[in-house]
Amino acid sequence: MSLTPEVAGVVARMREADISFADLGLAEARQFYIDTLAASGGEPVPMGEIVEHELTLNGRSLNARRYRPEGLAEGTAPTLVYFHGGGWVLGDLESHDRVCRQLAQRAGCQLVAVDYRLAPEHCLPTSSDDAIAAYGYLVEHAAEFDIDAQKLAVGGDSAGGHLSAVVALAARDAGWPLALQVLVYPATDLREAARKYPSKGRNANVPPLTAELMAWFGQRSVDVNTDPLDWRVSPILAETLEGTAPALVITAGADVLMDEGVLYAARLADDGVDVDHAHYPGVIHGFIEMQAWLAATGEMMDRIAAAVRRHLAIPG
């Protein structure tokens, strides 16, 4: 896979650094992920208001952070619920703080970032169950979070894209309002057979998400109780995607997850869902977190913002 010149420079720097999450302990890897994304994400965009929340669910609580950009009118607002990436093992509200600020500002909407329990302490489908429960809680308690419940979107990157696809399926089944699902290079197929997707071989040595790191995540995100045929684990295996919210699916050409993102977009379209598939050739996994390094990041964020504005009827 040929890389764009800008991306090639980033990949060269990653290879020169020669640091792998697989060489670190779990706590070190989680902190390294946060530090890396802070460096690649650029200066944090100022917000009009940031509020920390705790979502009290059955038997557990999850942290959430509500972003309101400058200029957003007081009161209920169109809202994007966002789930961070990190292979279901890494990431938290801090790792994706810069991403969330950018998206909130560009879309002119409120954004609620939701944490979820990580593996290996809590293997799949725990994170899926957390995401579903959190979204349902936000719908039920919309007024407490200044959410306009008729103008709700869900989105996330990588593992967060997976969780967003799962939430869209659950929202359809539960009758919860959802106007848009934003799936940024989502993981959609965790079956053993999914290892044979051509993009996983072709891009196996392209950082940051190499085959080695994929194996590291795989060893930690699932256990004997994880059923890869469960739609909460492999949403591409859901009986039908018909009736889920309109989708923006973003894929990157130099990404091991490209094929399953492309196939999920096609499956959505085949099942009658309104799909906008935005593909970025020569771009790597994780580029939503690279605002300081790649022009493609800003272009992609503007694409997301335009979709959010259109589907949530936000002026501008």
**Is position 109 within any domain?**
yes
Q: What is the distance between the alpha carbons of residues 82 and 103, in angstroms, rounded to a whole number?
A: 10
**Is position 302 within any domain?**
yes
**Is position 197 within any domain?**
yes
Residue 18, helix vs strand vs coil: coil
Which residue in 115, 130, 146, 255 is the catalytic one? 255
Supply the range of the domain harboring residue 170.
5-311
Q: What is the distance between the alpha carbons of residues 3 and 283, in angstroms, rounded to a whole number?
A: 6
**Is position 307 within any domain?**
yes
Which residue in 158, 164, 199, 234 is the catalytic one? 158
Under 8 Å between Cβ of 267 and 238: no
Instruction: Report which secondary-structure segment, H or E, holds 149.
Output: strand 147-157
* CATH code of the domain in which 86 resides: 3.40.50.1820
**Per the structure, how many domains does the chain have?**
1
Q: What is the distance between the alpha carbons of residues 118 and 96, in angstroms, rounded to a whole number?
A: 15
pLDDT, position 23:
84
Residue 90, helix vs strand vs coil: coil
Q: What is the distance between the alpha carbons of residues 212 and 243, in angstroms, rounded to a whole number?
A: 37
Give residue for tokens 């609620």: 112
Q: What is the distance between the alpha carbons of residues 203 and 86, in angstroms, rounded to a whole number?
A: 18
Tokens standing for 40? 């690649």
Under 8 Å between Cβ of 111 and 67: yes
Task: Respond yes or no on whether the N-terminal peptide bond of residue 208 is cis (omega within 30° of 0).
Answer: yes
Those residues whose C-beta lies under 8 Å from the C-beta of residue 77, and which sit 6 or more positions away, are: 68, 109, 110, 146, 147, 148, 151
**Is position 316 within any domain?**
no
- From first to last of the 316 residues of the chain, give the pLDDT tens digit: 699 999 999 999 999 987 778 789 999 999 999 999 999 999 999 999 999 999 999 989 999 999 999 999 999 999 999 999 999 999 999 999 999 999 999 999 999 999 999 999 999 999 999 999 999 999 999 999 999 999 999 999 999 999 999 999 999 999 999 999 999 999 999 999 888 999 999 999 999 999 999 999 999 999 999 999 999 999 999 999 999 999 999 999 999 999 999 999 999 999 999 999 999 999 999 999 999 999 999 999 999 999 999 999 999 7
Which residue in 53, 84, 162, 285 is the catalytic one? 285
Q: Catalytic site residue 255?
A: yes
pTM for the whole structure: 0.98
